[in-house]
Chain A
Amino acid sequence: MEAILGNQVMFILFSAMIVMFSILTVTSRRILRAATFLLFVLLSTAGLYFMLNYQFLAAVQITLYAGGIVVLIIFSILLTSHIDHKFDRVPAQKLIMGVIAAGSGIALSLTTLLTYNFVPANQEPISVDMNTIGKSLLNYGDHGFVLPFEVISVLLLAAIVAAVVIAKRKKI
């Protein structure tokens, strides 16, 4: 009983952090702060992954998202923006349109998912340890993921080539 209460407290803590920092990310008027708030959102998301018992994915979330993508975003901010720069306030018309779009979307989705009855499949839960992950990743039979695994490398090749072409151009 106590463990259940503890889980719920942790979950509410993480999701409150996610929602709060998400709002700050899209409303902050200083771009570097927005990037920092995004970092907090990503770390709290990693916390939710830990709560779902997907430890490997939580680690990936921290290394790739929090450690890689956020660094790249901050890098591009340093390249293109000025630290004293503050965004203008959002014009009222745009603000209203945004709130209407987001609010109606939230209302629609929440009514749908809270009235739908989710039925769990009758399956034996498997433990998601590194052995299972590695075997499924390299498996070329059923429930194997070797093709996306190889295709990802081509995608990364494209990213390297794009970066080299753009960064080596002499004119600035």
Chain B
Amino acid sequence: MLFTGIPLEFFLVTSTLMFFIGIYGFITRENIITILMSIELILNSVNINFLAFNRYLYPGQLEGHFFSLFVIAVAAAEAAVAIAIIINIYRRFKSIEVDNVDEMKN
């Protein structure tokens, strides 16, 4: 067993730090792509939580495992669509800073 000797709390502390670093980036960043990267950090920390809970608390089931798998797949589709939107915004406004993109129609 690779995970013997590591309490569950270790994983939770790591993912908590990662989650709130993502929140910090989400608040302070101006560029849409870096905001998207902060969201990826948040999604990843949640995945770590799912897997750690599944392994430590319910080792006989696979729900957390599959939830993470689908979260990753949805994150891929989400990134694809988000970047499509970013490219469209760039064409329209020649900029991807959120402060410049404040009108729906011009």
Contacts and interface: CB of A to CB of B under 8 A. Distances in A.
Bound pair: A and B?
A: yes
Interface of A: 3-5, 7-8, 11, 15, 18-19, 22-23, 25-27, 31, 34-35, 38, 41-42, 45, 48-54, 57, 60-61, 64-65, 68-69, 72-73, 75-77, 79-81, 87-88, 90, 94-95, 97-99, 101-103, 105-106, 109-110, 113-114, 118-121, 123-126, 128, 132-133, 136-137, 143, 145, 148, 152, 155-156, 158-159, 162-163, 166-167, 171-172
Contacts, number: 236
A121 B8 CA distance: 14
A23 B30 CA distance: 16
Interface of B: 1-6, 8-14, 16-25, 27-31, 33-34, 36-38, 40-41, 44, 47-48, 51-52, 55-63, 65-66, 68-70, 72-77, 79-81, 83-88, 90-91, 96
B2 to A, nearest CB: 5
